[in-house]
Amino acid sequence: MPQVIDFRVRLPLELRPAEELPADYLDQYDKVLDLSANRHRSLADLLADMEASGTAHAVVHAEYEYGDDADALNEAVGKLVSEYPDKFSGYGTISMNPVKIPRALAQVRRVAELGLTGLSLQPSFFGIPIDDRALYPIYAKADELGLHVALHTGINYTVSFPIRNDQPIQLDQVACDFPSLVMIACHAGWPWVTEMVAVLRKHPNVYTEFGGLAPRYVCEPDTGWEVMKRFMNSLLSKQVLHGTDWPVFPMDKALAQWRAGGLRDHVLEALTGGNAARLLGRD
């Protein structure tokens, strides 16, 4: 059985550059996701949670949603990955406030130099659509360097930017223009689940992960996820990735819910580790 790989965890707060998030920003997220109790969990906590849940490896994302911490985040993720290569792979990022192409391309090259596996971008948090042409040089450079690109889809919980920029249908155009670029739709695109499934079915180079979501809702009827479960349990079994967005969702709870979700045995193995191992070259 493949080892369990969590394809999306956040860099522990203690390793992140100091940042001053606006109070209303934090309040909004705590109203929706109630992160107040878990926001300050440490690297030691992350390693302990991995051990307790049987998670052998995790992909740490240098995501950010406010300001511009890209360079410092890339260095921090690179340092963590170099110190724990058996435990962690990493996705870096670029400056998006605003996107300046020469700087962004230099950051993409630095991500590759650090030995990271991909880029983690959240355009909607900066009012930018996924298929905005300002991002095309970044996609092209990532493709050239063999880096994956993970993109926020689904709902953003800010009160500053609309969720229309998170629609997964935008991945279709990017995948048409970059057919060899591996893209990961983070958070699986809800509420546009049918769209997400259509994009996955059309483009074998597009994957999705379920970070920050309760797997039970993906697997239960009458939640809006029915078409995703049906297709991931058959035709899309090789394009789905387990992720928790730790510390947003507990690792042990997520795995327990997937295992109780009625997925076929080979699909469960692919979801919780096999697909990720293949993407990361760990198979």
Segment 51-67, tens digit of pLDDT? 999 999 999 999 888 77
Count the domains in the chain: 1
Coil/strand/helix, residue 56 = strand
Mean pLDDT on 248-265: 97
pLDDT cut 90: percent of the chain above it: 84
Which candidate, 113, 110, 57, places its Cα nearest to that of 85?
57
Mean pLDDT of the region 1-29: 80
30, pLDDT greater than 90: no
pTM: 0.95
Q: For 19, phi and psi rounded to 5 degrees?
A: -140, 150
Residue given tokens 């059309």 in the structure block: 202
User: How far is it, in rounded angstroms, from Cα 279 to Cα 283?
Assistant: 9
User: Is the model's pLDDT at 1 over the cut of 80?
Assistant: no
Q: How far is CA 90 from the centre of its chain?
A: 11
Residues in contact with 172: Cβ distance below 8 Å, sequence separation at least 6, in sequence order: 198, 199, 202, 203
Contact 92, 77 (CB under 8 A): yes
- Asked if pLDDT for residue 166 goes beyond 90, the answer is yes
pLDDT at 26: 58
Mean pLDDT of 75-92: 98
CA neighbor of 243 nearest in space, from 197, 207, 210: 210
- Which one has a higher pLDDT value, 283 or 96? 96
Residues 88-104: pLDDT tens digits? 999 999 999 899 999 99
68 against 171, higher pLDDT: 171
- Residue 192's pLDDT is what? 97
Cis upstream peptide for 247 (omega within 30°): yes
Q: Which domain holds residue 32?
A: 4-280
Q: What is the pLDDT of residues 192-223, one digit of tens each?
A: 999 999 999 999 999 999 999 999 999 999 99
Q: pLDDT tens digit string along 167-185?
A: 999 999 999 999 999 999 9
| Mean pLDDT of the 226-255 span | 97
CATH code for the domain of 228: 3.20.20.140
